Chain A
């Protein structure tokens, strides 16, 4: 019944609180029977046997005692189930986060934005109801009704039989409800998210709406969509709720039948009032856990479907371990040897048997049309990807023999779209070297031309930036990344030159910062600007995952092909 094997496995890892919860829950049901027993006896004593209050006190005392015990058991059961649920969630969250960390930036970029964070946060949370109420309820919905029947059976086999006969109707209807409900839930979810998507779209485009003085029209749009959604959904719900109506009726009519049948038998002296009352008090408790299962079924289903996304991430194949390769000892710089990489789901390799060397202390520029494989080579160097064939080595040592942390510790990376964390500007730069002195920090700001920008901020370096803080322009973000690189002072520089058209003055400034950064360091740069390309020690033209040609500017200018063509285009655009 919707018990996902993988979810069950997770539960087994944290079984203690769940077992505890189930045992207390079962005990509570036993106490409930005892309560009914003593209460029916007490009322019987007063009503039929006309016993005085003092004579009834022991019975009422027992009733009170079992009430207390039952409530304690219930409470424990509730708390323990949640404990189990949070333990599972904590574990799942850790696994999910480390899995994503292992899969790396290329994975997070390949997944539709928002989906991963939804899975990590809302997805894991949606499992709460599944573990803390749905699973325990399945057990109680089996145990409690059977216990009630067992308690009634000795004195009144007929009522027990009525209960048992009506009980299978409940799972039957539940399955019917479940089937239609899951279709409805899914459909409703989709319309709902489409509707909130539309609303988000309108909010995001609010300035555009105002520009065209069209706010009133969109307002009407929101109104109509909402009303249409309501009408359409209600049409579906009118049918969907019918099955739960039937479910409800099984319970209430079952109670009614039992009441009438025991009343009749009492008339024929075939049953005592005491037992009749006992049966009557317990009858609603027979149906209650089954009905509750119906309401929790929904939450359970939501959790189960959320878990699919979670497991889809967890079951992603881990990036293949780097194949170790041979390398010439004593060779300086970084060498790619026969490096091949194919993205999953694509047929042609993004890097195809690539061999080249980045000379120590020099600048190597990668150029080529977009999609040629430049970024793939960069990501391989950063070990965000591992080659499926071939090897990369540093000073004659295969990268596979160096830990990823150690390797990245030697690299400064300036990506095209640097990420700014939701922290202060200072913390965002100091991420590169938390113990950097103030002088080093200010030197980095000066080198990147950020000092003027910092002065213009009311709170200076303590200004919050990132998601919830001040927004930085692309050029400013780029300079923050450069400042990080200056601060880290690593021997290897990996740069992805911005393609966007920033302000030319700013561009000139950025370029001189970059030159200062790369001077004397081993540098690999994806270059877009001719200026950068011309000053590189070596230029590698990438095309279709292969190296088309390589050499210095003067060597390449004489060769027909991409290099000359791209020069031509850039000259044209600038004219």
Chain B
């Protein structure tokens, strides 16, 4: 219930639209009732053989309601669809706002697109929260109230009877069916999730399953899962059918009850048989809005489940937040780490263990070491993706936590191992680094990054749906971004690790050219052209084991020299 209330709070800005849609929906159902009622009035009146003119009212009523129902239904569909789209857009914005502060520290599980796709699907399924969950009960309540008012003017007794049956159909039966089916919808959703995981394992691991003779067993597991899900769906159908039948039964029971209450009065002289006919028909028609309630209950359970999954993600606390009075990025950005340690949550070992180093402005330093040494963690800390655990990390003498993360990131440019390109144009992908940059500027950056051939392709699509860029081209786009960003500090985090030898050489050359005069921190496990660095910091298992220039380190017979020799002799010759 709490989840549901939170969900409805998100769509609050559209309450007015929903109210409008509900009102028109109510008017639609009302016209349906009106049509039947006036028809009944017409024939009942005709049975009394009045003068022809007396039928006029009924005839007009029949025509008006007959037309109104269709027109109102049209209006209702338009308004409710429009509202649904508004809600979907709102949900996406809401989710984006809530998840943005959490990236990337709290979203490590979402590196695979499949899991994110599920999140997107969950949001999509919530778009119907108005039409399928909120609207049906709202219409039922309004129709019920209207019936009370109308019937009350004729017969209090009939009104109370109908109210009784409406309460049964609107509250008791749905509650009973919900109790009987508790967990069915959640069970189906859970089985669907596990089926998705099984199917992915099946489709991606089919080779392994074959080689290890596990294919029949895996197929059987999937089959079991499917059967379990279908069984739950059968159960669902059983309950749906029951709900529908009970509602129908209540409708007819209400008719019988009202007749039993009104018929004795018919014996009185001057009793009006017209109202008897009209009321019976009205009672029958008034149950129509109760029919969609079962589906509404089911959607409520499904939506709550989807909402719960989303809130589970979003309720994490952001790792880093902007301070109230952020410091300005200094002109003289000396980066200093002092006794810095870092441990990832859920891990036993310190990824960085009491390290200290200083990078003076304009210097080029390299951080090297085997994988798992903690090199990239230094990037994450400098980019404020994570908070430091112990010790100090300062820029220009101020603790890194004092800066606004956005401001910090504008001043530290990063090229990582894999460059993400959005499914937008090359232009859009470049403008990220410098919004508002002119075409000339973009073209200059592309040319300088070694992508002269892209100058004419600014408006072509990059990323998923557009042209496929090679690894080298992606990294060059990242370099063009760095040029545009023009930050005083550049971090290269294994920027060339995914490139082949020749491309790597070219890209490295370009990077060296653009970082002249700026602070550069290059993180790498591949020891190439190491002479260019003012200092090399060697990390191993989270500790700094050596520091110095290439020549000095080669004098020692430490980790660096061992790595260098391994790569230049035993490696691919």
Interface SS of chain B: helix, strand, loop or mixed? helix
Size of chain B's interface in residues, with CB distance under 8 A? Answer: 161
Q: State whether the Cβ of A244 lies closer than 8 Å to any Cβ in chain B.
A: yes
Q: For residue B63, give the distance in angstroms from its CB to the closest CB of chain A.
A: 6
Which one of B120, B234, B570 lies within 8 Å of A86 (CB-CB)? B234
- Which of B97, B280, B284 neighbours the largest number of chain A CB atoms within 10 Å of its CB? B280
B505-526 to A contact mask, C-beta < 8 Å, 1/0:
0000000000000000000011
Task: Give me 24 A-to-B residue pairs in the complex whose CB atoms sit less than 8 angstroms apart, sorted by A's number.
Answer: A43-B276, A46-B262, A52-B264, A63-B256, A67-B248, A67-B249, A90-B230, A117-B203, A203-B119, A208-B422, A210-B104, A210-B406, A212-B432, A212-B433, A214-B432, A215-B100, A253-B70, A255-B66, A263-B42, A281-B284, A421-B208, A431-B214, A471-B111, A531-B570
Could you tell me the distance between the alpha carbons of A46 and B264 in the complex, rounded to whole angstroms? 9
Closest to B240 in A: A78
Residues from chain B with a CB closer than 8 A to the CB of A204 are 113, 116, 420
The B-contacting residues of A in range 393-427, CB under 8 angstroms, are 404-405, 408-409, 411-413, 415, 418-422
Could you tell me the distance between the alpha carbons of A531 and B203 in the complex, rounded to whole angstroms? 34
Q: A431-B214, A467-B200 known; A86 and B58 CB under 8 Å?
A: no
Question: B100–A74 contact, CB under 8 A?
Answer: no
B259-291 to A contact mask, C-beta < 8 Å, 1/0:
110111011000001101100110010000000
Question: A70–B117 contact, CB under 8 A?
Answer: no
Could you tell me the distance between the alpha carbons of A101 and B566 in the complex, rounded to whole angstroms? 44
Q: A458-B347, A529-B572 known; A267 and B199 CB under 8 Å?
A: no
Which one of A71, A82, A200, A237 lies within 8 Å of B120 (CB-CB)? A200
The A-contacting residues of B in range 209-236, CB under 8 angstroms, are 210-215, 219, 222-223, 226-227, 230-231, 233-234, 236
Question: A409–B47 contact, CB under 8 A?
Answer: no
Closest to A192 in B: B124
Closest to B97 in A: A219
Could you tell me the distance between the alpha carbons of A52 and B262 in the complex, rounded to whole angstroms? 11
Question: B201–A415 contact, CB under 8 A?
Answer: no
Question: B35–A230 contact, CB under 8 A?
Answer: no
Q: State whether the Cβ of A206 lies closer than 8 Å to any Cβ in chain B.
A: yes
Which one of B96, B115, B253, B273 lies within 8 Å of A468 (CB-CB)? B115
Q: State whether the Cβ of B9 lies closer than 8 Å to any Cβ in chain A.
A: no
Residues from chain A with a CB closer than 8 A to the CB of B570 are 508, 531
Question: A458–B348 contact, CB under 8 A?
Answer: yes
Which one of A132, A234, A432 lies within 8 Å of B81 (CB-CB)? A234
Q: State whether the Cβ of A1 lies closer than 8 Å to any Cβ in chain B.
A: no
Could you tell me the distance between the alpha carbons of A63 and B253 in the complex, rounded to whole angstroms? 10
Which one of B47, B97, B267, B414 lies within 8 Å of A276 (CB-CB)? B47
Q: For residue A111, give the distance in angstroms from its CB to the closest CB of chain B.
A: 9
Q: State whether the Cβ of A116 lies closer than 8 Å to any Cβ in chain B.
A: yes
Question: A105–B210 contact, CB under 8 A?
Answer: yes
Residues from chain A with a CB closer than 8 A to the CB of B73 are 244-245, 248
Residues from chain B with a CB closer than 8 A to the CB of A114 are 114, 117
Q: State whether the Cβ of A165 lies closer than 8 Å to any Cβ in chain B.
A: no
Q: A46-B259, A242-B74, A421-B205 known; A262 and B422 CB under 8 Å?
A: no
Residues from chain B with a CB closer than 8 A to the CB of A89 are 226, 230
Which one of A78, A244, A418 lies within 8 Å of B241 (CB-CB)? A78
Could you tell me the distance between the alpha carbons of A213 and B405 in the complex, rounded to whole angstroms? 9
Residues from chain A with a CB closer than 8 A to the CB of B347 are 456, 458
Residues from chain A with a CB closer than 8 A to the CB of B117 are 114, 200
Question: B212–A488 contact, CB under 8 A?
Answer: yes
Could you tell me the distance between the alpha carbons of A467 and B525 in the complex, rounded to whole angstroms? 28
Q: For residue B101, give the distance in angstroms from its CB to the closest CB of chain A.
A: 9
Residues from chain A with a CB closer than 8 A to the CB of B532 are none
- Which of B121, B207, B215 neighbours the largest number of chain A CB atoms within 10 Å of its CB? B207
B79-94 to A contact mask, C-beta < 8 Å, 1/0:
0011001101110110
Q: State whether the Cβ of B65 lies closer than 8 Å to any Cβ in chain A.
A: yes
Which one of A42, A219, A227 lies within 8 Å of B96 (CB-CB)? A219
Question: B238–A79 contact, CB under 8 A?
Answer: yes
Comparing A299-307, A353-361, A441-449, A564-572, the segment that makes contact with chain B is A564-572
The A-contacting residues of B in range 181-221, CB under 8 angstroms, are 192, 195-208, 210-215, 219
